[in-house]
Every structure is written in C-alpha cells, then in structure tokens.
Structure 1
Amino acid sequence: MSLAARINVPLLPEHKPKIEIKHATLPGAVFNVATSIIGAGIMSIPATLKVLGVIPAFLLIVIIAMLADVSVEFLMRFTHSGHSRTYAGVMRESFGRGGAVAAQVCVMVTNLGCLIMYLIIIGDVLSGNQPEGVVHLGILQQWFGIHWWNSREFALLVTVVFIMLPLVLFRRVESLKFSSAISVLLAVVFVGISSAMAISALLEGKTETPRMLPHLDNQVSFFDLFTAVPVIVTAFTFHFNVHPIGFELGKPSDMITACRISLALCAAIYFAIGLFGYLLFGDSIMPDILVNFDQNAGSAFGSLLNQIVRLSYALHIMLVFPLLNFSLRANIDEFLFPKKPLLATDTKRFLFLTLVLLAISYLAAIAIPNIWYFFQFLGSTSAVCLAFIFPGAIVIRDVHGISTSRDRIVAAVMIILAVVTSTIAISTNIFSLF
C-alpha cells in the first residue's frame, strides 16, 4: 500500500460499532433458578413428612416457598434502587462493610459445604461407602466388581475433571441453561420412578397409611418438630444466585417471574417426592432417602429401578454443582479482590479460583466421610440468614426510603420466625447429640 493510501486510511472508524449485549432468556433463568433450588434438598424432604405428618409438611413447604418469593422481591427491589449488582453489595449499601462480609461469609460457608456434600453423595452412589463397618457397594462396583478404577478417589477425580471442570469454566450463568434443564429433568425422573414404585406398592397393599398430623410420644417431642424447618429452608435457599441470574436478563421483572415459576415447580417436586417417598418406605424412611434405595429391592427389576433412581440423582447433582460454584467463586473474588476488575474479564484470576475451589472440594470430599451434621446446621444458620434474615433486615433498614408499612411488618415477622425456629432447631439438635 502506498504512503498516500495509508494516510487516507482512518485510524478509527467514524462510527463505533454497537456492541450487542445478548440477554439471558426467561426459560433459561427458570431452569437455572430451579436447579439452584432443588440441589440436595430433595433427599431430606421425605423424612420431614415422617416427623411433621403430611398436612403440616405440605403447609410448611408452601409457606416457606411463599416467604422465599417475598424475600427475593425485597432483594431485587432494593438492588435496582441502589447501585450494586451483587448480594454483598446490597448488604454493603444498607449495613456497610460488615454487612457485605456477613453476606459473603454466609454464601461461602453454605455453598462450599454443599459442594463438598455433593461430591460425597456422588462418591457414595458411584463407589459406595462403609458407615460403621457396614459395606454399601456403589453402582460401578455392583455392575463391574471392585477395581482400582471404580474406587471412590478415582471415580470422583474422573467426575470432577471430565464433567464438572468443563461446566465451571463457563463465565455466564446463562451458558448453564441446558445443563440445568437436564438437571431438572433428572430430578423429575427421580420423582417419577419413586412415585411409580410407591403407587405400585400401594396397589399391592404393601404401604402403611401415612400420618396426616405429627405423632408426639417419648421419642418425638414438640421441639423436634422445629428441626424440620431448617431442612425445608435449606431446600429453598437459592438467594446467592439471584443476582448472577437476574442481571443477565433484560428486564428486572423477568427475574421475579422466573423465581415464581421455579418456586412453584420445586414446591410440587418436593411435595411429590416427600409423599411418595414416605408412602414407599413408611417409618423406615431415612434422613437421606438414597440410603433407602440402597436396600435390597427383592427382585431384579426392583434393583434396576433402585439403581436408576440413585444414578439419576447423582447425575442431577453433578449438574447442580456448577451453579453453586458460580456464586461461590464470585463471592470469594469479591471478598478477596474487591477493587479488581470483573472476574470474568481476568482469565488468570478466574482459572486460579476455579481450579482451587475444585481441588478443595475434591480433597475435602475424600478426607471427610460424613458432613451431615454440618449440613443440618447450615439450614439453621447461614442458609436462613441468606434466605430470610438479611432480606428482612435490608427492608427494615430502608436506606433508599422505599419500604411501605406492610413491607416492614412482613420483614419483621419473617425475621422473628426465622430466628425463633432456628434457635429452637439448633438447641434441639445440640441436645440430641448428648
């Protein structure tokens, strides 16, 4: 090119090309929210029906789902009235640095605990476990025998590297919508097979009549009923993903719609698995219903159904893992590097946090045989703070002057209920340990 020609070439175009921002879709948000909600909570719901009875359990599921909807509406309203785009940022606007740190710590404790528990469950399903000396074979061992390549350590390593790592490398939540859709479908399969088995047992007269109301005796006291509340609260705690999912949508109102659809869907799934799981196993239902499906089914077809149920659930939580990891990674980054640019724009920092979190989750799942007691306390502490106490406190603080009298009353009632039930549940759980 000649010098004259080069001189006439503009260094910059006269009109900058518009960067088209691709917004997330409402169905994608619904699947991502639903996947964030379901998680591992579905396993513990049937046991709450044994404690509470069918009618109180149904009412509790509906009430907590409605309160979760209200708390999300509070969060989104105050978010869009301020300048922050994260949960911790909204808490910072209302309560300063201490509020932000409290939210970040709760997300980190809740999500990291859940991720470790997910890997423990996957390890139990694939490679079995030996609680108190009793050997439970995993699906891989039942199918192929016991080998080095289906040991717990190796099976989890393959799962982490080839399934979870590719999913956690996505930098937008919307990119997980297809894996989330599959995850919800697997949860429906889990519920569907359980329901079919329960209906079959009912027709054969092999089920007991479920209790409609709680039965209090020497083994179950009135205060034991409150231990079911944190289980349901944890099952509906997804508030750590409200901002990552919501800000990828085009309109703020779409997030409220997505949450309401997801909450209704998940409440139906929870009650269905609770009712049919309770019908299927009666008073022998375990706190983790997968343990019941690990028992002898009495026939080859029954054993096959049990294996399908366990495998579908393991695949389900493999696909839940990246969603919880997404908000965990974002909160850790915001906590450690508050003045750095967005995490998605810094490849080195993004890869470092991603790989470290995967390594910590894997090593903890191998080293810790059981964290069920820890998980029980999550619902009474960090999860209840994220779901109800923090959103209610933001409304009462009202730094933007947008709360109505009704909002403040609802927020106060929500906080009082959360604190009272959690305190009783924690006290009862501690007392039961001694």
Structure 2
Amino acid sequence: MAPHTSSLTKINIISRDQGSDKVPLLPAKNGHAGSAEVPDGYNGASFASAVFSLTTSVVGAGIMGLPAAVKTLGVIPGVLVIAIVGLLADAGVEIMLKFSNTGKIVSYGGLMADSFGRVGRIILQACVTVNNFGILVVYLIIIGDVMSGSTSGTVHHSGVLEEWAGGQTWWNSRLSVFVFTTLVILAPLASFKHVDALRLSSAISVALAVLFVVVMVMVTIAKLAIGNVAMPRLFPNIENGWSLLEVFEVIPIVVTAYICHQSVHPIINELTMPSQAFGVVRTSLAVCTAIYVAMSVFGFILFGDNTMTDVLSNFDTNLGVPYSTVLCDIVRVGYALHLVLVFPILHFTLRLNLDGLLFPASRPISMDNRRFTLITAGIMSLIFFGAYMIPSIDVAFQFTGATAGMCIGFIFPSIVCLRDIHEISTKREKVVSWIMVVLAIAVGIVAITSDILDIFVNKSSTTPSGHVDGFIH
C-alpha cells in the first residue's frame, strides 16, 4: 500500500473526513487552481494548533492602531465597529469555506479560479503577493525601530537595545539588527514546509498578544487606583468636516486588522479533521475580537487623548507607575517577538502564492526542495533589502493595505458568493456580501483620500518614523 499512497500524493489527491470516514476528493483543477497551490497530503494539525496559527495570522501590527481608532470613534461606537467587522470577517471566511467544500477546492486561488477562471486566480495571487510582501517589509522595519530606535523629524525614539547599551553601538545599529533578525531568526522560521510545524511559535505569539492586554489592564488599574486616569470619551467629537473625515478614516484600521483570508486554506488543509474548519475560524476570530476590544478600550482609557496612532509609541515614556521602565521594555520586546512569530505564517502564504504565479503547473512546492529553497531565499533577500532601503513607512504601504488587503478580505469572498456558480448562496449571504463590497469600496476611497490629503495638505501626524499606523494588518 505504501507505493500506492505515495502515488496518490504526487497526483495531488487529498482526503478529508466526513464523520468517521475518510473519502478521497477529486484532484484539484490544474487549469484553475494551479497545482503548485495544492497541498502535499500532510494532515496532522490539531484543532488547537490550527486556532493558534489562524489567530497568529490575524493579530499583526494592526493591533497597535486600535486604541487610536477607539479614541477617534469613542468607546461605544469603537467597540461596536470592532465587533461588527469581526462578524463580517467571519461571514467572509465561512463563505470561502462553503464554496471550497462544494467545489472540492483546496486553495484561495482555486476558489477564485472556480468562479472567474484563470484570470481570477492570477489576480488573487498577485494581490496576496503584493499585500503580504508589503506587510513583511513593514514588520522588519518595525522590529528594527523597536530594537535599534527611530527618528521622526527632530524627535528620536530610543530603541530597546540602544537604551540597554546606553547609546548607539555597532551591534545595536539598524543594519546589525536587520542582519541578525533575518539570518538567525526569521530565515529558519520561514524554512518550515508546513504551517503546523509552527504551532509552538504560533501559541507563543498569541500569548504575547494576550500579554499586551494584561500589561495594559494592570497599568490602567494601577492608575485608576491613584486617580490618574480621566473618564474616556464614549462618543466621537465631531466639530467640523475634518473631524468627520477622521471618524471614517479609522474604519480601514479596524477592517484590515481582521484580514487573514489568504492564510485560511493552508491552515485548514493541514487539519486532521477538516470538518472542524468552521469551528477553527469562529474560535480564532472570537479570540481576536476579545483581544482587540480589550487592547483598544484599555489603551484608550490609559492614555486618553494622548493615545498615539501607534500606541506602542506611548510606551517609550514614563507610565507613572512602579517599574514603568520594565513594563515598557516588556511591551516593546514582546511586540517585536510577536511580529517575529507572525512573520513565518504570512511568509508561508506569500511563498505559496508567488510559487503559484511563477510555476502554476508544477508539483507542490513543499515536494521540490530546490524550488522551495530558491523562492524562500529570494523572498527573504527582497524583504531584507526592502526594509533596509526604506527609512520609514509612507503612504504607499497604507495604500497597499487598503486596496489589495480589502480585495483579499472582503471583495473576493463577496463576489464569489454573488456569482454563485454552484447556486448555494442564501439570501442572507448575498446581503452580507453586498455589505462587504460596499464597505470595502468605501474604505478604499477613504484611505486613498486620506493619503492624498496627507501628501498635499501635509497634515501633521504623531506616527513615528517606521511605525505602522494601522492600515497595514
């Protein structure tokens, strides 16, 4: 039986459970999905490891922009927006899974190809490639800023290593941090061939996200006890047209914080029991929503109107509580480690989609060591040089996240549902899909308008050089 099983794997036939029985699915449509996207038959991931992996892919850099979003919206509208967007994200992913199960599809590219042919697959893969590459460059820049410091105008924000060393040295310089982080930490993590191999790092990443919330809650309670925290604003303060624009401008921050759709298929494909897919998605998004609500509300309560666009910037000053310096270092180092552990999940999806674009008719990349090594090394090299050459994050990254990101997260799942080639969409799903399309278009318009105003009106910003301001997930 061993040779026969191996041959089934090589022609890309996978199996999934239905109840207690395992039944083979049809081979993926090579003309549509691209066999490079098809999994290699590995299915050893547990429910918990899948939840950790998906949660890790959701909770990225965008979490640090949520307190500022709640500052602009007010606590009550802010919490409502976070919850509603979470529900819409869940609806979009469940639509993807529903159509994937019906069409016997194992990739996001295959899902788009099933409804829109080869062009649909190529557009999806291009969006994922651009979006994930931009995000990973941003992650490396942020890690460099946190550890080696950054300068915005005349204001210098000291890095953790710079503070520990008492000043700039060769070993805590930006270049040294980039080289060490890329070669010693990120490259080995990005070299795993299965998402499930990252289950431990994913669990640690989720734990670090929870640590942010715990530290925020502890500091907030301590300051409440001594009466140093003012009553937070419950509703937005709209005084003029500019204030109204700012209210709508924060919506993309919340929307892009939930984009994980490009990682769903690779994670679900590795489940030991694929019937648990919907449970994994709901559990993961519920955990993310709880983290987001706690982080945003307590962050706004703690810093009030001084909450910066990237709340991490509030942690390079005295918090006014005992052991303030230690707590600030825990948050900043923990945040950097969190991004390090999120990195390989997004890199995995980037590599898979880039390989699908370049080699659509080849066998799965995890079964071709030479192709796997070359593409992995190529991506890591480009990310390194991109992060090193770009001194700060500008509006181009905001634009990428609010366009390609919106397509991946909201528009593509919605148009698959609305096209409904299998005639399985319910009336409710179509209504939700129209809502997501309209929301995504509105978000894109607001983001582009904001970028134009930032460029030509030269609107002042508190975002430090190199820190993401929320439009990148």
State which of 363, 366, 370 in structure 2 corresponds to 1:348.
370
Bigger Cα displacement from structure 2, 421-430 vs 227-236? 421-430
Match of 1:216 among 235, 238, 248: 238
Deviations 1:239-275 (A, max 9, x none): 0101100111134331211111111111111111111
Distance 2:353 2:233 in 1: 43
Matched, 1:235 2:260: no
Corresponding letter in the other structure for 1:221: S
Mind listing any 5+ residue stretches in structure 1 that lack a counterpart? 1-13
Give how far 1:21 is off. 5.5
Q: Which of 420, 427, 432 pairs up with 1:410?
A: 432
Structure-2 residue corresponding to 1:381: 403
Give the superposition deviation at 1:362. 1.2
How far has the Cα of 1:400 moved from its partner?
1.7
User: Shift of the alpha carbon at 1:108?
Assistant: 1.2
Partners in 1 of 2:224 and 2:125 — Cα distance? 47
Kindly indicate whether the alpha-carbon contact (under 8 Å) linking 1:188 and 1:269 is maintained by their aligned counterparts in 2.
yes
Contact 2:222 2:321 in 1 (8 A): no
Return the offset for 1:413. 2.3
Which amino acid letter does the alignment assign opposite residue 173 of structure 2? S
For the residue of structure 1 that corresponds to 2:63, the secondary structure is helix
Q: Which residue identity is paired with 2:190?
A: V
Q: Which moved more, 1:201-210 or 1:330-339?
A: 201-210
Residue 209 (structure 1) shift:
1.4
User: What CA distance in whole angstroms lies between the structure 2 residues aligned with 1:136 and 1:421?
Assistant: 31
Q: Name the stretch that deviates more: 83-92 or 123-132.
A: 83-92
Structure 2: distance between partners of 1:263 and 1:373: 28
Is the counterpart of residue 67 in structure 1 residue 88 in structure 2?
A: yes
Deviation at 1:165, TM superposition (A): 1.3
The Cα shift of 1:289 comes to 1.0
Q: Indicate conservation of the 8 Å contact 2:88/2:432, yes or no.
A: no
Q: Are 1:249 and 2:271 counterparts?
A: yes
Q: 1:28 aligns with which of 17, 33, 49?
A: 49
Of the three residues 350, 364, 367, the one matched with 2:386 is: 364
Whether 2:61 is the aligned partner of 1:40: answer: yes
Equivalent residue number for residue 105 of structure 1: 126
- 1:86 corresponds in structure 2 to 107
Separation in 1, partners of 2:42, 2:180: 36
Q: Which has the larger radius of gyration?
A: 1
Q: What CA distance in whole angstroms lies between the structure 2 residues aligned with 1:16 and 1:240?
A: 33
Aligned to 1:275: 297
Aligned to 2:448: 426
Which residue among 186, 198, 206 is the counterpart of 2:220? 198
| Aligned partner (choices 172, 197, 209) of residue 175 of structure 1 | 197
**8 Å contact from structure 2 (residues 223, 321) kept in 1:** no
User: 312, 333, 345: which is aligned to 2:334?
Assistant: 312
User: CA, structure 1 residues 431+129, in 2 after alignment: closer, same or farther (shift >3 Å)?
Assistant: closer
Please say if 1:295 is aligned against 2:324.
no
Residue equivalent to 2:152:
131
User: Match for residue 261 of structure 1?
Assistant: 283
Instruction: Report the counterpart of residue 206 of structure 2 in structure 1.
Output: 184
The sequence identity of aligned pairs, in percent, is 43
For 1:123 and 1:63, locate their aligned partners in 2 and report how far apart those are by CA, in whole Å.
Answer: 34
Q: Secondary structure at the match of 2:153?
A: helix
SS at 1:130 equivalent: strand
Q: Does residue 335 of structure 1 match 2:357?
A: yes
Q: Contact conserved, 1:233 with 1:383, CA < 8 A, in 2? A: no
Deviation at 1:297, TM superposition (A): 4.0
Residue 308 of structure 1, CA deviation: 1.0
Opposite residue 344 of structure 1, the aligned amino acid is S
User: For 1:101 and 1:162, how far apart are their aligned partners in 2?
Assistant: 33
Q: Distance in 1 between matches of 2:390 and 2:91?
A: 36
- Indicate the RMSD between aligned Cα atoms, in angstroms: 1.9
Q: For the residues of structure 1 that align with 2:395 and 2:42, how far apart are their CA atoms?
A: 44
**DSSP 3-state at the match of 1:135:** strand
* CA shift for structure 1 position 279: 1.3
Letter aligned with residue 269 of structure 2 = F
The answer (yes or no) to whether the contact 2:182–2:380 under 8 Å persists in 1 is yes
Select between 266-275 and 220-229 the one with higher mean Cα deviation.
220-229
2:102 counterpart letter in structure 1 = S
Q: Counterparts of 2:267 and 2:123 in 1: how far apart (Å)?
A: 21
Q: Deviations over 1:331-367 (max 9, x none)?
A: 0000011011110011111011111111111111111
Could you tell me which amino acid in structure 2 is paired with residue 319 of structure 1? Answer: L
d(CA) in 1 for partners of 2:397 and 2:69?
Answer: 15
Letter in 2 for 1:350: F
Q: Take 2:317 and 2:135, find their aligned partners in 1: how far apart are those partners?
A: 25
The one-letter code of the counterpart of 1:88 is G
Whole-Å separation in 2 of the counterparts to 1:60 and 1:426: 21
Counterpart of 1:148 in structure 2 is: 170
Corresponding letter in the other structure for 1:207: V
- What amino acid sits opposite 1:383 in the alignment? G
Q: Is residue 397 from structure 1 mapped to residue 409 from structure 2 by the alignment?
A: no
Q: Give the deviation of 1:46 after TM superposition.
A: 0.5
CA distance in 1, matches of 2:2, 2:321: 72
Q: TM-score, normalised by structure 2?
A: 0.85
